[in-house]
Amino acid sequence: MESKNKKYSAPALEKGIDILELLSKDSFALNTATIADRLGRSSAEIYRMLLVLEQRGFISKDEEDEGYRVTRKLLQLGSEQEPIKDIMEYSIPVMRALAGKTTMSCHIAVDSNDKIVVINRIEAAATLSYSVRIGFTKPIIETASGRVLFAFQPPETRERWIKMLQNHHPESQIKDFVADCKKVAKQGHVLSPSPFVVGVTDLSVPIMDGDHAIATINVPYLQRKPEEITVEETLKLLKEAAENISSAITYGIVKPL
């Protein structure tokens, strides 16, 4: 948790941030003793911090598991900032239309430091579908969204991201990532098997603000029998949705899909 270039110290604030980061990375509720042990703190000082974070709505008590989980308050605060607020506002009707036509769920992701975070999703009405929850995070370098976001950034931004990624990933992995992103920039999208879920194809397209991507819109295409819509047809509709939202961000008008 310590930074080599640390210049200033605010112990109470740091403890609170450490707790939030720890809870956000774990899929299960963690109790006070576990949190204290993982952070190398005493249960007494962690307990006080947990009470404050709970009172302010950043974490909540899971009575069934007798532990704490992060809430969506941080995501809510982030979504109040431009251009995230515009994306959230303009994307909903377009995403609903997309889910209706493709019978697949869709979601929007943005970058957050070295990770992507899902800020919005629409479930499909189909009996069988696959979706990604709001708040889901994954390293940029491991995701379709991350490759699309990186591919459609100006050179100076890409250089800054590479320096950031070097703090978290080996050089060989970054080199492969950059090579993949060059291919994505040429084709304008990602269409590839999910590295995490068998039978799912990741479809990802940029939402543009001028000459750079500010988000991605994605469909986790699920192979179903019988096939209701092809992956190529789904990608075409996804690109139309991305163009629609991009235009809306620029001109403030959402066109019917």
Three-state DSSP class for 120? strand
pLDDT mean over 113-142: 88
How far apart, in whole angstroms, are the C-alpha atoms of residue 242 and residue 225?
27
Q: In one letter, which amino acid is 195?
A: P
Report residue 211's pLDDT band, with 50, 70 and 90 as the boundaries. confident
Which phi and psi angles does 175 have, rounded to 5°? -60, -45
Work out the number of other CB atoms within 10 angstroms of the CB of residue 85: 12
The tens digit of pLDDT for each residue in 17-48 reads 888 888 877 768 898 999 999 999 888 888 88
Mean of pLDDT over the chain: 86
Site of tokens 């139309």: 240
Does residue 54 have a pLDDT over 60? yes
Return the domain boundaries, the chain. Answer: 11-71, 77-251
How far apart, in whole angstroms, are the C-alpha atoms of residue 238 and residue 240?
5
Lowest mean pLDDT among 14-28, 66-80, 159-173: 66-80
> How would you label 159-182 residue by residue, b for 16+ Cβ within 10 Å and e otherwise?
eebeeebeeebeeeebeebbebbe
For residue 47, give both structure tokens: 């307990």
Report residue 56's pLDDT band, with 50, 70 and 90 as the boundaries. confident
Superfamily (CATH H level) for 77-251? GAF domain (3.30.450.40)
CATH number, domain 11-71, options 3.40.640.10, 1.10.10.10, 3.40.50.150, 3.40.50.10540 = 1.10.10.10
